[in-house]
Structure 1
Amino acid sequence: MLEHMTMDEIIGFVAGLDGVLTLKPGPGDGSPELSWGDTFFYYAPDGVTPTKTQPFATVVTKNYPGDESSRLDRPDTFRVNMFAGKDAFVQWTGHAPRDAASIEGDASAADTVIAHPVYGTVGWLAVVNPGPRTEAAVRELLTSAYEIARSRYERRAESQAR
């Protein structure tokens, strides 16, 4: 079995970035049961969950309706998803995000950077069970997703202050 990054390592890495709000839905918090056990990362230095912003990265542990191709129903399988933006997306896939739906490949392959099976067309990348081949890339992509989210937050705050 390939030695892979653990979910806790990934969560600790992202949660350690300044201004990150880490949400882990669970019983009793009002979140949909389907999301329990997954982790969502927002840039929210005020600690308040943004209402009009998507997370910049997620760690999912199960298949969602319409998103079964990564086969997350296998034991000890999870997928880290991160917003990459157009340039990084093209760098990793060789295609523009709008062409992601036509990208061939095995969305269940471990330790491989792939276009997100559902959100690839809007610039998301994903890795099932990151391991030795993708650990550095995952850290780089997560940091980049964080920087993009922080920049967007700061631009919004600046425009609202005017």
Structure 2
Amino acid sequence: MSKKNKKESSGHIAKNKKARHYYELIENLEAGIELRGTEVKSLRAGLVAFRDSYVQFRNGEAWLVGLHIAPYENAGYAQHDPDRERRLLLHSRQISAWAAKVDQRGFSVVPVSIYFKESRVKVEIALGRGKKLHDQRDTIKERDIQRDVARQLAGM
């Protein structure tokens, strides 16, 4: 079977739009994720919700907490827990470096997007600092101004 005949994966599964709204993202990192078979099937169907998901560091490992992957309807008896904690696959030096940064005041690690890379599921995580309410409003205001300027330039 040639490479041309293989079905291409769709790429992005879901993006966490609220992450950029609530956090000032400083640094990004790609991580693998440990999944069960029915979870992969649900992800291919796009049945994922970020809700209030975050990354927690415990015992030298990184865990993705709060990611909801809906149950796969054709799984039969072998169903997965939709809200279980999932281990992220990172190098130990990456985990220790980011865990040290999280121990500093005001930093959090949040998932930004989940996607297929070749046949593997990857999660893009970001180190971020929580925004204050006025910072969120300023971001919205700047985006609106840029949109208005772009419309005026396009209309000329």
Question: RCO greater where, 1 or 2, for CA within 8 Å and sep 6 or more?
Answer: 2
Q: Provide TM-score, normalisation by structure 1.
A: 0.26
Which of the pair is proportionally richer in strand? 2
